[in-house]
Amino acid sequence: MAIRTITEYPEKVLATVGQLVTSFDEELVRLCDDMYETMYDAEGVGLAAPQIGLSLRLFVMDCEGIKLIAANPEIVGTEGEQSGQEGCLSVGKVPAVVIRPQKARLRAQNLKGEWFEREAEGYAARAFLHETDHCDGKLFIDHLPKLRRNMVIRRFQKEKKW
Ligand SMILES: [Zn+2]
């Protein structure tokens, strides 16, 4: 296992729609091991492949008791609304309030390529949505009004200089 370098805003790969995962092999298992190690090292609750520079539809997460690997994830249902703090390892964990659905249903493939569905609420639903967004080339700041988006970016760039 190895800790990978985390890709940060504004690197292009973070704004690129990921490629489908098509090989469910040993290499994918090793990649997910690395992603978990990188995520835990950075004290994150989720990490998507574009965040380590790979344009792939893949994420790992471990959030509020939901630990899973999702290849080719899609959100197939949402319900309600929540307003809460969110941050991203690729934007230096600078927090911002983002409005998201309260519940989300994820459909994805596991390491064997088998499809599964999983439902989550609250913070874990937020993780499903945030990580699936990464696979679509979207960051959480893209959900913010322009002024607040710019504030997060400025704060992140300022902190990076230190
Ligand atoms: Zn993120």
Measure the CA–CA gap between 160 and 154, rounded to whole angstroms: 10
Q: Are strands 66-79 and 103-109 parallel, antiparallel or unpaired?
A: antiparallel
Q: What is the mean pLDDT of residues 3-13?
A: 98
Indicate whether 162 pLDDT > 70.
no
Q: How remote is the CA of residue 14 from the centroid of ligand 1, in Å?
A: 9
Q: How remote is the CA of residue 83 from the centroid of ligand 1, in Å?
A: 17
pLDDT band at 160 (very low <50, low <70, confident <90, very high): confident
Give pTM, 2 decimals. Answer: 0.97
42-72 tens-digit pLDDT: 999 999 999 999 999 999 999 999 999 999 9
20-41 tens-digit pLDDT: 999 999 999 999 999 999 999 9
Q: How remote is the CA of residue 66 from the centroid of ligand 1, in Å?
A: 17
Question: Is 131 considered catalytic here?
Answer: yes
Q: In sequence order, what are the residues at sequence separation of 6 or more whose Cβ sits closer than 8 angstroms to the Cβ of residue 162? A: none
76-101 tens-digit pLDDT: 999 999 999 999 999 999 999 999 99
- Going 88 to 91 to 95 to 96, the CA torsion angle's sign is negative
According to DSSP, residue 144 is labeled S
**Catalytic residue, candidates 8, 26, 131, 159:** 131
Bridge partners (DSSP) of residue 70 are 59
Q: What is the mean pLDDT of residues 97-120?
A: 98
pLDDT band at 1 (very low <50, low <70, confident <90, very high): confident
Residue 14's CB is within 10 A of a number of other CB atoms, namely 21
Q: How remote is the CA of residue 131 from the centroid of ligand 1, in Å?
A: 6
The two tokens of residue 148 are 């607040």
Q: Which residues fall inside 5 Å of ion ligand 1, going by CB?
A: 88
Give me the percent of the chain exceeding a pLDDT of 70.
Answer: 99
Q: How far is CA 128 from CA 99, 121, 124, 131, in A?
A: 14, 10, 6, 6
